Structure 1
């Protein structure tokens, strides 16, 4: 076993049983979008296959897809060419890995505001860097003042926006203050916008880090086709940022990943074209599922506390009991519903669990019924 493997195993909080569903159980554990990949995207892939688009693609991604991503992010034409600021990656996970490996040296400090996506800490360990956790507020949401106070001497700040696991959408002024502080200190601000199009509370303003990509040398955006377009199994993502940063990301990515298949990239171009058609019904589905989740959690009264999700498709309730998060997961599994342990998302996630409401309505409602019945039995 290598030192790298040992480092990752020592810090990883990700469950080894992820994706396994016992017979008869309902899962609220996975962020798998409902409905499957829209038919026009599948048809575009089929057409590309028939047209012989099965050869090696360019290592940074096809020009057509990189142009479409740049247009989606509204990168404009100022400064470096938009194509110089985008690299297509083998899923967002590989994009994140390439960013971390391209910019971190052993011993560098990486600030992770809690709670946050559990892959980040594993990638920090893989690079030989050190995670600096920033505790959340009592309701599980990001504490801006603590984050701002943690950035001195850091090499990187990683934000999940909207948040996995809480569904929090950072206020525009909060995001701006964090990015400006990173610019002042020379800290690279990596913003994972996997859920950028899944905005559930229409009263909440979302500000994308893409606004800074044309002017800042310290902001990198990581995106994916998995969530917006229900393309989880297609393994396609992207990194956008300053040309100087993206070139290093491309070098690292092509070293440990072959480029995604050309017909998959062709389908992704089509995905952007049909976005105005496929997104509204998905948002309507997630918003109704969110309403079901919020109502069920409120009905539990003082047994739980939570911040209502504003984006993505997760809720992150604190369960008031004497059980640890891992023990709570076991109780819920025994009750026939799968959820994720809060400790997976950082130390201050202890006592919380994560619910996904991305699935089909009937499964979400049944899962919530089993969830609430289990919580009531804990009291």
Structure 2
């Protein structure tokens, strides 16, 4: 494992902490609150998974598990989660992690040395930048244009001398997915420059109109790839803290070294429940996905009633990325005003500098909250 930088910027840590506390204070101060901010399914974990965990505890699954994961879960991942795409994968290509977050952070700490360059989309999930800062790396950002297109010439230029590309697919916060043509361009860049791709597929299984192509299915990427997945979103298991990595064996080994230093082995009974989710909860996951698609369509229809905003249809996850006129203020200002009006949203700047005049809205909530929440926001943005 590559050691973290001995001189992490305290200013960066304090800035993130201050912004987080400010967001929590806004939510706590609001009355008659409606939240379009939370990235968590509002469903209960499927009963078949709960029953499996209870039975596992009764059967003695109360001891340490292997650092890389219990055989029941590793085999279920190889059978159900990797499937045909994982032809040739084995247990050495799998690491069970303390949620998706720990898998992502362990990968970054295992690969990045102080000064290494990481390519990161703007906007994207903020945890990646936190991990890169922790490792002492530096970041170059790339963004989609107004048509939703990536400039692969610019990415190719920035890839010279870089070590890692981090992708969120489907995207948090935009809901965008990576097309087959885009995957081909990423694969070409990675192979020519000898980079690694860390692909966060936390929202795999929550896609709607367009076909989802996993990074595991992209030809030629295997030697350059590590994929992070979680049970949190697809199976409504956020509180279980269970995820896994799939990738090239040496990359997995580096991540495993980092992971065991700050997590150790994962709850044995939860792993048995995770295996059950993969093998037996597919119908439950599909029912939830269909509800999210209905909610996606509802939020889209509500947003189209608001003039002077810009957004693209969400293809995956459960978010809309909403751009509003600059004169209304920064996203922190608008999020604060929205909280005072009784609707919580996530400020765009949390996800990158392109979010200065943007908000992330979640439709992982009931239809009444979507309608009323967007209506309150509409009055603010009018």
Q: CA deviation at 1:350?
A: 1.2
Match of 1:341 among 334, 337, 347: 347
CA contact (8 A) 1:212 1:219 kept: no
Partner of 2:313: 308
Partner of 1:292: 298
Partner of 2:205: 197
CA contact (8 A) 2:216 2:222 kept: no
**Per-residue CA shift, 1:196-230, capped at 9, x if unaligned?**
110122xx121101124986211110000000000
**1:169-248 equivalences in 2 (<5 Å):** 169-201=177-209, 204-212=210-218, 216-248=222-254
Match of 2:63 among 44, 49, 55: 55
Q: CA deviation at 1:321?
A: 3.9
**Per-residue CA shift, 1:44-78, capped at 9, x if unaligned?**
11111111111011111101101111221126775
Partner of 1:86: 94
Q: Secondary structure at the match of 1:238?
A: strand
Matched, 1:29 2:45: no
Match of 1:3 among 7, 10, 19: 7
CA contact (8 A) 1:65 1:265 kept: yes
Q: CA deviation at 1:4?
A: 2.9
Match of 1:42 among 44, 50, 54: 50
Distance in 1, matches of 2:95 and 2:334, equals 41
| Shift in CA distance, 28/307, structure 1 to aligned 2, threshold 3 Å | same
Partner of 1:73: 82
Distance in 2, matches of 1:154 and 1:25, equals 44
CA contact (8 A) 1:62 1:262 kept: yes
Q: CA deviation at 1:142?
A: 4.8
**Per-residue CA shift, 1:101-150, capped at 9, x if unaligned?**
11100000001011100111110000000111223323676544433332
Match of 2:379 among 363, 370, 373: 373
Partner of 2:163: 155
Distance in 2, matches of 1:265 and 1:165, equals 28
Q: Secondary structure at the match of 1:163?
A: coil
Alignment coverage as a number of residue pairs = 371
| Shift in CA distance, 15/146, structure 1 to aligned 2, threshold 3 Å | farther
Q: CA deviation at 1:343?
A: 0.8
Distance in 1, matches of 2:203 and 2:32, equals 30
Distance in 2, matches of 1:222 and 1:75, equals 18
CA contact (8 A) 1:161 1:169 kept: yes
Superposition TM-score, scaled by structure 1 size: 0.92
44-53 vs 359-368, which moves further? 359-368
Partner of 1:96: 104
| Shift in CA distance, 317/78, structure 1 to aligned 2, threshold 3 Å | closer
CA contact (8 A) 1:213 1:242 kept: no
Partner of 1:111: 119
CA contact (8 A) 1:11 1:122 kept: no
Q: Secondary structure at the match of 2:244?
A: strand
| Shift in CA distance, 359/139, structure 1 to aligned 2, threshold 3 Å | farther
CA contact (8 A) 1:113 1:142 kept: no
| Shift in CA distance, 140/159, structure 1 to aligned 2, threshold 3 Å | same
**Per-residue CA shift, 1:312-336, capped at 9, x if unaligned?**
1000010114111111101111111
Distance in 1, matches of 2:68 and 2:60, equals 20
Poorly superposed stretches of 4+, deviation over 6 Å: none
| Shift in CA distance, 140/115, structure 1 to aligned 2, threshold 3 Å | farther
Q: Which runs of 5+ in 2 are unaligned?
A: 1-5
CA contact (8 A) 2:49 2:281 kept: no
Distance in 2, matches of 1:329 and 1:145, equals 35
| Shift in CA distance, 66/7, structure 1 to aligned 2, threshold 3 Å | farther
Distance in 2, matches of 1:253 and 1:178, equals 27
Q: CA deviation at 1:176?
A: 2.0
Distance in 1, matches of 2:112 and 2:66, equals 26
Superposition TM-score, scaled by structure 2 size: 0.91
Q: CA deviation at 1:96?
A: 0.7
Partner of 2:268: 262
Q: CA deviation at 1:275?
A: 3.3
Distance in 2, matches of 1:141 and 1:353, equals 20
